[in-house]
Amino acid sequence: MNRNSGWIFQAEKEARMNIYVGNLSYEVTEEDLRQAFEGFGQVASVTIIKDRYSGESRGFGFVEMSSRAEAQSAIDGLNGKELKGRTISVSEARPRSERGGRGRSGWRRPY
C-alpha cells in the first residue's frame, strides 16, 4: 500500500459535499432526488430520511456530491425550486453534532 493513499482518500473525501434537502413531498423518491441533482454533477449518494416505525418519508434528505463546485452549483440551482409540487429548501448540510445519551443523567428533580 502506498503511504500517500490515506492522504489521497482524505482529499477525495474533503472534496465531497453533503447537501441537506428539506420540504420534500412525501412522494419524492431517492431516484427523483438523484435525477434532479445529476443535472449539476456526479452524485455520490442519496438518502431520504424515513420514520423508523411507519417507513414513510420525514420530508427531508441528504445528497452527497463528488465535487464541492458541482454541489454549490446544485444548491444555487435547486434552492427554492419546485419538486413534485413542493418548493424545496437546499443548503450545505451541517456536520452532525455529538449527541449525548438520552435521559437526564445527573439531573435530579428538586422536592
Q: What is the mean pLDDT of residues 85-89?
A: 97
| Per-residue confidence band for 95, with pLDDT thresholds at 50, 70 and 90 | confident
Task: List pLDDT tens digits, range 27-45.
Answer: 999 999 999 999 999 999 9
Domain annotation covers residue 5:
no
Domain range spanning residue 84?
Answer: 13-91
Give CA–CA dist 41/72, Å, rounded: 10
Looking only at the bridges linking them, the beta strands covering 89-92 and 17-22 are antiparallel
**Rounded CA gap, 65 and 45, in Å?**
7
DSSP state of 81: -
Please tell me the predicted confidence (pLDDT) of residue 98: 57
What CATH number is given to the structural domain containing 42? Answer: 3.30.70.330
What pTM does this model have? 0.75
User: Is 106 among the domain residues?
Assistant: no
How far is it, in rounded angstroms, from Cα 93 to Cα 44?
15
- Domain count for the chain, please give it: 1
pLDDT tens digits, residue range 97-108? Answer: 755 555 555 556
Place of cell 431520504: 48
Position 49 confidence tier, pLDDT thresholds 50, 70, 90: very high
Please tell me the predicted confidence (pLDDT) of residue 34: 98
d(CA 99, CA 67): 28
Domain contains 22: yes
Find residue 82's DSSP bridge partners: 87
